[in-house]
Structures are given as C-alpha cells and as structure tokens.
Amino acid sequence: MRPDLRRRRLLLLLTASTLYSAPLARRALAEAARPSLGGTQAPASDAGKGLKVVVVGAGMAGLSASATLVAAGAEVVVLEARDRIGGRIFTDRSLGVPVEQGANFIHGFNGNPVAALASKAGGMPFFVDEEQSAVLLSGGEEPEDFEIDDLWEEIERIEEKAAEEADGDAALSLLDIIELLDPALLQEPIGNWGLTDMWENELGAPLSAISALHFNAGEVYPGPDAVLLQGYDLLPRHLADGLDIRLGEAVRHVRHAGDTVTVETATARFEADHCVVAVPLGVLKAGAIAFDPPLPPEHQAAIAAIGFGNLAKVSVLFDRVFWPTDLHYLGYAGKERGRFADMLSLVPIHDAPVLTLMASGGYADKVDAMDEAALRADVTAVLRDMFGQAVPAPEAITRHAWSTDPLALGTYSYPAVGARPGDHDVLEAPASGRLLLAGEHTSRDHFGTVHGALESGQRAALAVLKRGRG
C-alpha cells in the first residue's frame, strides 16, 4: 500500500531537509547507485548469445529491456515510431532551460532504480520540497494554516474509509465515495484543490474514473522527489548508448506463432526469436498494433480495464519573476477543479523565470484541445487571478498534448473503476512463448512511474533470456 498522508509527509520532511547541498546530493546519488536495477542480479554476459530479439518502443521500458539483453550478448533491434527516443520522457529546451513535457520527477529518491541509473549517467538531482509551497485562492488570498490542516485531515479520513464504504463494489468511483462522506468538499475551492493535488494530479484521471477500491494501490519509494538538472532525457540517452535503434519505424503487425517472431512496419520486416512490445497502454487500447494470433483474452481484458489518463503540462517563460522565489510549488484553488491547480517553479531549480503548470482531471483534456492563443489567455487569466493584473503576458510557452498524440494517447496508467491490481500482473506475464509486454502499465507496484517502466523492461529481458531460443 502507498503510505498514508501523514507518513508520506514525514518521509518527505525527514529526507528532503538533508539533501539540498551539492555534496549531499552527490552522496545521495552514491547511495542510490548501490542496489542493482530492480534488486536483481545482472545476467551473465553470454546468457543471450545467439538470441535475436526485436523490441518495439524506445521509451524507458524498451531501452531498459534492450540494454539488459545486449549486455547479455543478445542481438537486439529497437523499433521506434517517433523521430526521437525516450517515449513519454520528453525534455524541451526551447525556453532556455530544460523543461519536462512528459515525466518530470524521480518519485521517491531513496532506493529508486531511476536514481541509481541517474548516478551511472552522471545526473545531478535537485530535490523538490513540498514544504516550500503556497496555495492561493481566487483573488490571491492565502488560506489559513488551520484550513490546510483541516483539509488534509479530511482527505486522510476519506482515504482511510473509502474501501470500507465501497464494500467490495468495483463499480464505485472515488467521486462516489467523496459524495457520500463529504459532498461539501466538492463545493469548496480549497477542497477541490486538495482533491486535485492528492488524487487527480497524481493518478492523472478525474475522480469519477478512479476506482474507490484500488485508488491507493501500489508502492512508493521513500524520500523526496527529484528533478534532474541536466534534463530527464539524460537517462534514455544513457541507456541507448550502443543500441541498434531504428527511428521512424512504426510497427503495424507482430506475428508470434511458430518458431520465430515476425515484426512488420510500413517499410520493413524483422524476424527474431522473441519480441518485447514496450509501447504505451493507450497504443495497445487503440489496437494500433495487430497481433497474430491475437493477444490472449486475459491480456485483452486487462488492457481494456486498466485506466490510461491524462495530465496536461504547460511550461511558460516570463520576462521577470513575479511569484515568491523561494517556493518550489504553487497551488491554485480556483473555481474549477483541475484548472492548473499545481505549478512547479523553475526559479530554485534553474534560476529561470519559468513556471510549469499542471492541469488534471477533466480540465486536462480541455487544455489539450486549446490552441496556443487560448492557452496563453487561460494561463494568464489564472496567474492574474493569483497575483494581480500586473502579471505580464508570457514571452514563450511550450507543451505537448499527450492525449491527442497517436503514439501515446495519454500520459500514464491508473486504477480505473472496474480494474483490479491483478490486471497489471496479467500484462507482465508472457503473451505467448515468444511475445512479452513491458511498460509502466505492466507493473502492479509501480504503475504510472518511470521506475515502473524501467523495472518492467528488465523483467521482460530476463524472461526472454530464461526462455532462450526454445
């Protein structure tokens, strides 16, 4: 289970307070590097000798699988539909500093395999501190401390009673439970901000779509969240070193019956002993890849059941900083739930007048549907509601609409109404003797995270090596 709110806040406070100087950050990286990826032993360097594998997707899962297989001596071809590697890790530098269009954080630094990978890649973390934050209501008023404390206590009460109130009914959503236990929370701006910050943002889905039974499923690593100062794309570039990656190759068919696997793109055909398909869950849901024979019924059911949500992120450059420079996070308790409720300041991270605003729940799709003019106007309106009419217009703005990106069709998986934690286990299991799936959606404990994707790729690679050519 995820830690409850009180324990998570304590873990963050105890760890974040010690990690902000560069020497201590380097010490934290050294500590993180000690465990091997996923806590397993690396395979022998000749374990994959003579083995041919096609990996579909050059995101973190696909690159992790490929790097593990190549290190074991296998011959691997990676097919990536995009013109870049990284998948939903997408670092943009058009604003003059690295901003993350996709995955942003190493969630829970202590013992996290992504932190270990960052150490190997020479990454330097910046530890974000949730205590360095402020929430503003419409008009710029700041709630009293007791209001925030009361809010978290009420959300914690809902968290503790949700499963009991759901009473095993898989059709109930988290919204149903909130309406039962405290409907007034949904009518208050500060209440809606808390619900967004706690669940809609973290899980990337509206409350009405999140399972009341399993919203709290999964595990977390302790310690603070971290941002990589060089950009998150440092990690896929590190994993990709030495790999045979074919960009612009969108896979259309995977035939996995018989003694070999045949993988077809619009322009080429590849044969191998095994195939690892590491594309986003949204691509699997859309049926963009045809499998022959079709995926097993249990795999198809799990793909349909697990949710695949949306978190819209917008990074904005200004000519000056007009918000408190010491804050890491800003919260906006506006009238519409999910409307840029959470913001990350890049002033302490990169000394740049840049904000990354996050829209979640139903508002995320609204943001993805906006053209740039409408988006600029919406962002400006929110910030002027918080800080007054003197807020300047943005100098530049950048975003990526993952929900409409045909190579993603969403951001990350979540426990949807009707889904079960065991659905992730189904997707982790081989689809056939020569076909495996990988990705954060195949991780029961760490779905929705980069480390979940990273570990899933290694698991798939080890399964391939165990099966060999037979």
pLDDT per residue over 140-182, tens digit each?
999 999 999 999 999 999 999 998 999 999 999 999 999 999 9
**C-beta separation of 217 from 202 below 8 A:** no
Residues 6+ apart with CB under 8 A from 16: 127, 128, 129, 130, 131, 223, 224
Q: Residue 41: pLDDT band by 50, 70, 90 thresholds?
A: low
- In total, the chain counts a number of residues equal to 470
Contact status, residue 127 vs residue 19, Cβ threshold 8 Å:
yes
DSSP state of 296: P
pTM of the model: 0.92
Asked if pLDDT for residue 411 goes beyond 70, the answer is yes
Indicate the SS3 state at residue 318. coil
pLDDT for 195 beyond 90 = yes
Task: Provide the token pair at 69.
Answer: 């297989």
Q: What is the CA radius of gyration of the chain?
A: 22
Q: Taking residues 15-25, report their average pLDDT.
A: 43
Model pLDDT, residue 11: 37
264, pLDDT greater than 60 = yes
Q: How far is CA 31 from CA 25, 57, 115, 118, 351, in A?
A: 10, 30, 9, 12, 27
Residue in this structure with the two tokens 């691997």, named with its chain if needed: 76
| pLDDT at 40 (0 to 100) | 54
Instruction: Name which of 44-53, 252-261, 269-278 the model is least confident about.
Output: 44-53
Distance CA 420, CA 427 (A): 12
Domain 33-81+233-307+412-467 has CATH 1.10.150.120: no
Cβ–Cβ contacts within 10 Å for residue 14, how many?
12
Q: Give start and end residues of each alpha helix (H) in 140-247.
A: 145-166, 174-181, 189-195, 201-203, 234-240
- Position 47 scores a pLDDT of 87
To the nearest whole percent, how much of the chain has pLDDT over 90? 89
pLDDT for 9 equals 40
Q: Which helix (H) or strand (E) holds 414?
A: strand 413-414
| Contacts of residue 363, Cβ cutoff 8 Å, sequence gap at least 6 | 312, 336, 337, 338, 339, 340
Is the CB of residue 26 less than 8 Å from the CB of residue 53?
no
pLDDT: which is higher, 7 or 221: 221
Q: Among 22-31, 89-98, 218-227, where is mean pLDDT lowest?
A: 22-31
Strands (E), 232-376: 245-247, 251-255, 261-265, 269-272, 274-277, 290-292, 307-308, 312-317, 329-333, 342-345, 354-359
